[in-house]
Amino acid sequence: MSIALVLLAAGKGTRMESDRPKVLHKIGGAPLLHHAMLSASALEPERTVVVTGHGTDLVEAAAKAFDADATTVLQAEQLGTAHAVAQAKDALDGFDGDVIVLYGDTPFISTETLDDMIKARADHDVVVLGFDAADPGRYGRLIMDDTALSKIVEYKDASPEERAVTLCNSGVVCAKRTVLFDLIDAVDNNNASGEYYLTDIVEIANTRGLKATAVTCDEAETLGINSRAELAAAEAAFQRTTRAAMMKSGVQMQAPDTVFFSYDTVIGRDAEIEPNVVFAPGVTVESNARIRAFSHLEGAHVSQGATVGPFARLRPGAELAENVHIGNFVEIKNATVDEGAKVNHLTYIGDAEIGARSNIGAGTITCNYDGVMKHKTTIGQDVFIGSNTMLVAPVTVGDEAMTATSTTVTKNVPHGAMAIGRVDQTNKNGMARKLFSMLRAKKAKQAKD
C-alpha cells in the first residue's frame, strides 16, 4: 500500500516566546520538523505534504532541506486540526493510498509505531494513535468499545466519566485518502473551542458504518513541544535515548551524561568518547577512534585509530584519516589530514591538505583568507612544519620538506627543501635596562598626577 504523509506545522507556538516558528526549534541539532519527517521517511512515502502557517517561508525552506520533493501548503487561518489537514487535499489529488497525519512539534513517534498503524489499517478504515497517560490532564480521551474506537472526546467537551479514562489521543491518524477527506468534509465546529477537530472523524466514521480502532505506543513517543521547558525536557530525553543506544552498540563513555549528540551522529564500535564532548550535526567517528575531553565536532569524519583532543575543534569539512593525532587547542576546518599525520598543539588548519605522516608544530596557522577569498594550503607527505609557522595560502610544501621555527611561508617549498623566512635577530646591549627604567619613571609620574 502506498503511503502519503501530512505534517501539520502551521502553529506559532505562543508559549515558546519566540519569533521563530515552533517546529523550527531544535532537538539534537535538528528542527522538530526534521525529527517528525525522519521517523516517517523509513516508510518511503510516495508524497509528503507539510501544512505551514506562521513563518511559512522558513518552514517551507526547512521542509525542502530535509526532502526536496516535499510539498508545502498554507493554512492561512488556524481553524483547527481538521481544517489544517483539509489544506492538503488538493496536493494529494490522484493519490491512491493511505495518509498518515503527523505533527511537526511531536518529534519522537517511532517508525515501528507507524508500522503498527499501517498494519491495523488493513482491517480498519480509521486508525488513531493513543497512549496510556500517567497524568491524562487535558488530553483528549479515546473511548473504546473492546477493540473498536467509538469516539474521541476533547477534554473541554468530556463528561466526568470520560475524563476518568486514561487512554489519550496523540492526534496521529491513518486512513485511506478518500475516506480521510470525505470524513473531514463532514466535520463541523460545534464545540467549546469553535474549531474543526480532526478527532471528530472517528464518531462520523462510526455513524457511517466504518470501522475505527486505536493503536497504542509509549507515552514518551507522543511528547509534544509547546514551551521552552518542554523543549529542554525533549532534548534531555533525546540525549538519554541516544547515549543508551550508543553504549549498547559498543561505544565507550566514562561520563555519558556529559556527552551531547546530534540526531545524525554516527560512532563506531569500540570508539572512546571522553567527558564533555559535543557532537554537532554531520559527524562520523569510526571504530577505535578516541575523542578526548572538551572537544567539539561538527561536519567532520574521524577514521579508525585517530585521536582528537582534548580541547579540540573540528569544523565542517574536517576529514581525518586513520591514526591521525589532533591535539589540544587545535582547530581543523575544511581540511584533510592523511594517515598518521600529527597536529598536536595550538594550531589552526583551514582549507588545507596535510600528507601522510607529516608533523605540524605548535602555533602553526594556515593563513587561508585574504579578506575576500579563501585559499588552499597543500602540505605533502613526511613534512615537518616548525612551530609558529605562518603558511600564507595559496602555497604548497613538498614531500619531505620542512620549515624553520617562526617562518612565514609565502612561496612554494620544493620537495626535500627547508624554508626559512624570518627577520635576522639584532641584540641591543643594555637597551632592556634603559627601556624599563624609562617606563617605570613614567608610571611613577602618572601615579603622582
Could you list the active site residues?
A: 345
Helix (H) or strand (E) holding 160: helix 160-163
Grid coordinates in use for 14?
A: 505562543
- Whether the CB-CB separation of 353 and 321 falls below 8 Å is answered with no
Spatial distance between the Cα atoms of 307 and 343, rounded to a whole number of angstroms: 10
Bridge partners of residue 49, in order along the sequence? 6, 71
Closest among 416, 35, 386, 443 to 241, alpha carbons compared: 35
Return all residues near 376 (Cβ < 8 A) that are at least 6 apart.
351, 352, 353, 368, 393, 394
Name the 3-class secondary structure at 278.
Answer: strand
Grid coordinates in use for 404?
A: 624553520
User: Any idea which residue has 500500500 for its cell?
Assistant: 1
Question: Length of the chain in residues, anyone?
Answer: 449
CA-to-CA dists, residue 93 to 63, 178, 267, 320, 385, angstroms: 20, 10, 42, 49, 64
Helix (H) or strand (E) holding 431: helix 431-448
Return all residues near 226 (Cβ < 8 A) that are at least 6 apart.
13, 15, 16, 22, 105
What Rg, from alpha-carbon coordinates, does the chain have?
30
